[in-house]
Structure 1
Amino acid sequence: MELRRLRYFVAVAEELHFGRAAARLDMAQPPLSRQIAALETELGVQLFDRSRSQIRITQAGQILLDHARDILQRLDSAYRETRLVGAGGAGRLRIAFVGSATHGPFPTLVKSFRTHFPNVELALSSMNNAELSRALIQREIDVAIARPALGDDDFRSETLHAEPLILALPDNSPLAASETVPSTALAQETFIIYPRRPRPSFADHVLAVCKEAGFTPTDVVEAQDYQTAISLVAVGVGVSIVPASVAEASRPGVFFRKYDGPNPGTALTVHARIDNRAPHVMNFLELVRKNTRKSGLKRG
C-alpha cells in the first residue's frame, strides 16, 4: 500500500467530498477518484458509499481511517524528529569535564546550549584528563573539557577559558593576612596537589611553578581530584595552587589569595574527535567559539 494513497484516502474521508478533497490536496478530482478506487481494489473492500447527493464512509473505511491517521501522524513525527536530529536540534550530547571546570564559563556554556537546543539531551560526567582522552578515543563521550589540554592529533580543540593561578589557604593560616602572599613564604608549607594519578598532570604544572619560584615543597599531599584538594585545604592540611576561577565560589574554611611568584596560568580546553562531525557536536563547538570571541581569546 502506498503512503500517498493513504493520504488521499484520509483527505476524502475527512472532507466526504471528492471535489473538496482534491482542492485540499492540490490535484484534479479524476486522478483522486482513480487512486481511491485503486486502494479499494487493493484492499478488496468498499471504503465509501457513493451517491449523487452525498458520500459516506463505510465501516471498513472507518477502521482504515483510524489506523491511517495514526500511521501518518507517526510518520510525520518521525520525519520531524529525524530532521531535528540531523540539524543538531535533538539527540544526545555526551560531555565529560575535569572537576575544576565547574567554576568559570563552563556552567554558563552548558546553560546557553540548553537554551539554544532544548531538545538535545545532555549527559554530563566528571573525569580526569587521562579518562577524558580514553573516553574520546573509544567514542564513549562526544566532547571533553580538559585542563589544560589533551595532546592527541585525532582531536580538534578550542580554548574555552584562560586564567591565572591563585593560592588557596586555610582560613586560619597566618599567610591569609596578606593580600598578596610572597612566594618565599610558601617554601615550608605543605602543598596539596592533584590529581594523584595519572601523571604528568596539573600537579606537575604546580610543582613546576614552585621550582621556578626557587623552591621544592618539602611536604606534599596528593589528592585524586580538585574537590578533595580543596576539602583538605579547608580542614587545614596545607595550601594549594588552583585556577583563579575557583575563587568565584566561596568555600567555608578557605581563603584565596594572589601570590607574587611565577604565574603561567592555566586554561580550559574543549576537545572532540576530528571525525565526529555530528551536528550537535559542531553546534556546541560553535558556542565555544562565540565565547572565545567575546572573551578575546585566540582559538587553540
Structure 2
Amino acid sequence: MDIRRLSYFVAVAEEAHFGRAAVRLGIAQPPLSRQIAQLEADLGALLFDRSRSQIRLTQAGMVLLERSRDILELIGQAEGEVRRIGEGSAGRLRIAFVGSATYGVLPDVIKAFRSEYPDVELSLSAMNNAELKRAAIQREIDIAVARPSLADEELKTEILHREPLILALPKSECPGGGGAVHLLGFRSSTFILYPRDPRPSFADHALKLCMDHGFIPGSQLMAQDFQTAISLVAVGVGLCIVPASVSLSQRAGVEFRPISEPNPGTAISLNYRRDNRTPHLVNFLRIARRFADRPPLRQDVRPSSVPAHPA
C-alpha cells in the first residue's frame, strides 16, 4: 500500500471534496482522482460513494480512514524519532567507568549532558579497566572512563582530568598537623591495594609511588575494588593511596592527607572506538571537553542510580 496514496485518501475523506483536497495537497484535481481510483483498485473496494453531489465514505472507506490516521501518525512519530536519534537528541548512550571516577568531574559532565539532551537514555555501569577495554572494543559500551587510560590501537583516548595522589588513613592513626605526609614514614603499615585482579592495575601504580619514596610495603592487603579498600581503611585495617578527588566525599573513620613529592599523580580519561562517529558520542565529548581539568563543581559527586564501583 502506497503511503502517499493513503495521505491523499485522508485529505479527500476529511475535506469530503476532491477540489478542496487537491488545494490542500497542492496538486491538481485530475491526478488526485486517479490516485484515489488506483488505491481503490489496489484494495478491491470502493472508498467513496460518488453518486451524490457531495461524496461520502463507504463502510470500507470509514474503516480505512480510521486505520490510515493511525498509520500516518505512527509514520510521523517514527520519522521524528529516527531524525532525533540521528541528530543525537534521542536514543541511548552507554557509559562505563572505574569507581573512583564518580568522585571527580565525571558526574558534572553527566549532569550537563542530561541537561542538554534530556531525551537521551544514559546507560551507566561500573567496570574495572580490563572490563572497560573489552567492552569498548566489543562495542558493548560507547565510552569507557578509565584510570589512567586504555591502550589499544582501536581506541582513542582523551584525558578528562589530572590530579595528585593522596593517602587515606584511619583517623585513629592519622598524624597531627594536617599537612603533607611522607610515605616512607608509613613503610611498616599495611597498604591496602586495589584491584586484586587483573594486573597490572592501579595497585601497581600505587606500589610504584611507594618505590619512588624508597620502599616496598612489607604488608600488603589486596582488595577487589575501590569501595572495599576505603571500607577497610575506615575500620582501621590499613591505609590506601587514592586519587585526590576521593577526598571530596568525606567518609566516617577516614582522614585524607596530601603526599609529599615525588607525586606523579593520576588521570581519568575518556576512551572510545576510533570508528565510533555517532552523534551521541560526539555530543558527549563536546560537553566533556568543557570540563577537562576543571575541579569538580560540587561535594556530592556520585551520579544517581549508579551501581557498585570497581576500582
TM-score normalized by structure 1? 0.92
Is the contact between residue 213 and residue 262 of structure 1 (CA under 8 Å) also seen in structure 2? yes
Which residue number corresponds to residue 225 of structure 2?
Answer: 225
Which residue number corresponds to residue 251 of structure 2?
Answer: 251
What code does the residue aligned with 2:171 have? D
Distance 1:26 1:168 in 2: 73
Question: 3-state DSSP class of the match of 1:40?
Answer: helix
Distance 1:38 1:133 in 2: 57
1:113 aligns with 2:82: no
Report Cα offsets for 1:92-142 as digits up to 9, x if no partner.
Answer: 222111010111111111122222222222221111111111111222222
1:45 aligns with 2:45: yes
User: Structure 1 residues 101, 174: CA separation in 2 closer, same or farther (over 3 Å shift)?
Assistant: closer
Structure 1 stretch 150-159 or stretch 113-122: which is displaced more?
113-122
CA drift of 1:176 comes to: 5.1
Question: 3-state DSSP class of the match of 1:211?
Answer: helix
Is the contact between residue 174 and residue 255 of structure 2 (CA under 8 Å) also seen in structure 1? no
Is the contact between residue 156 and residue 271 of structure 2 (CA under 8 Å) also seen in structure 1? yes
RMSD: 1.8
Distance 2:55 2:69 in 1: 20
Which residue number corresponds to residue 122 of structure 2?
Answer: 122
Is the contact between residue 162 and residue 293 of structure 2 (CA under 8 Å) also seen in structure 1? no
Which residue number corresponds to residue 4 of structure 1?
Answer: 4
Which residue number corresponds to residue 189 of structure 2?
Answer: 189
Report Cα offsets for 1:186-216 as digits up to 9, x if no partner.
Answer: 2222111111111111111111111111222
Higher relative contact order (CA 8 A, sep 6+): 2
Question: 3-state DSSP class of the match of 1:263?
Answer: coil
Question: 3-state DSSP class of the match of 2:158?
Answer: strand
Which residue number corresponds to residue 260 of structure 1?
Answer: 260
Mind listing any 5+ residue stretches in structure 2 that lack a counterpart? Answer: 296-311
User: Structure 1 residues 192, 294: CA separation in 2 closer, same or farther (over 3 Å shift)?
Assistant: closer
What code does the residue aligned with 1:79 have? E
Which residue number corresponds to residue 277 of structure 1?
Answer: 277
Q: Aligned ranges for residues 29-178 of structure 1 at < 5 Å?
A: 29-50=29-50, 53-175=53-175, 177-178=177-178
Task: Give the number of aligned pairs.
Answer: 295
Question: 3-state DSSP class of the match of 1:168?
Answer: strand
Is the contact between residue 161 and residue 294 of structure 2 (CA under 8 Å) also seen in structure 1? no
What code does the residue aligned with 1:41 have? A
Distance 1:293 1:13 in 2: 62
Identity of aligned residues (%): 60
Report Cα offsets for 1:223-261 as digits up to 9, x if no partner.
Answer: 111101100100001111110100001111111111223
Distance 1:41 1:273 in 2: 52
What code does the residue aligned with 1:19 have? G
Is the contact between residue 160 and residue 293 of structure 2 (CA under 8 Å) also seen in structure 1? no
Which residue number corresponds to residue 238 of structure 2?
Answer: 238
